[in-house]
Amino acid sequence: MPTPLSLTIVPGINDSNEKHWQTRWQATQTDAVRIRPASWDEPDLENWIDAVDTAVGTPDTILVAHSLGCLAAAAWLAQNPGRVRGALLVAPPDRFGPEFPQAAPSFRSADPVLLGVPALVVASANDPFCALGTARTLAAAWGAGFVEVGSAGHINSASNLGAWPAGRALLDEFAESLAGAVR
């Protein structure tokens, strides 16, 4: 079931495959748009920020980001306050953690700042790319709410979540709260 707001899908490195919950959600939301950076495999932060900017159409949009996409979405929001209704940031990586992709050094410069829109960070207790405490710290720096979803790995295809109905319920509840909010 589509949310009352449009979605801009911001995947992580190498995009989200057909088994990823982002791809499945996009398939159920006719007005969802996915970013298309030129640098999927060797991510460049400026290129991804430009791709988010190109993908965002209406202000009645929620950014739905995963992993490295969370850092791109947050950097775009810092440059574009108020251009969207909110952001769902799932499994943000630790920029300085040992598992951070070496192919994405420009993303290390994405210092967390207040996002200027309602946001929700969703994190897993056993994410190999970000300790739960670090995810909580990121959420606080971004001024975002925080939800822990238990042990779900990196909340990606390898986590075998399918369409991730629990995550979709979080998105739908978040979207409803944003749609009802006065701008």
User: What size, in residues, is the chain?
Assistant: 183
Longest dimension (CA), the chain: 42
Q: In the sheet that 6-10 helps form, which strands lie side by side, from edge to edge?
A: 33-34, 6-10, 61-66, 86-90, 119-123, 145-148
| Residue showing tokens 């298309």 | 36
CA-atom Rg of the chain in angstroms? 14
Strands 6-10 vs 33-34: parallel, antiparallel or unpaired? parallel
Whether 142 and 74 have beta carbons less than 8 Å apart is answered as yes
Q: Where are the beta strands (DSSP E) in 14-134?
A: 33-34, 61-66, 86-90, 119-123
Q: Round to whole Å and give the CA distance between 31 and 125.
A: 32
89 forms bridges with which residues in the sheet?
65, 121
Phi/psi region, residue 35 (left: phi>0; alpha: psi -120 to 50; beta: rest), is beta
Give the global pTM.
0.96
Buried b (16+ CB within 10 A) or exposed e, 128-137: ebbeeebbee
62 forms bridges with which residues in the sheet?
7, 86
In Å, how far are 11, 34, 161 from 155, measured between CA atoms? 12, 18, 7
| Domain range 6-122+133-180, CATH class | alpha beta
> What does each of the 183 residues of the chain score in pLDDT, given as a tens digit?
567 889 999 999 999 999 999 999 999 998 999 999 999 999 999 999 999 999 998 899 999 999 999 999 999 999 998 999 999 999 999 999 999 999 999 999 999 999 999 999 999 999 999 999 999 999 999 999 999 999 999 999 999 999 999 999 999 999 999 987 644
Kindly state the DSSP code that residue 18 receives in the 8-state scheme. Answer: T
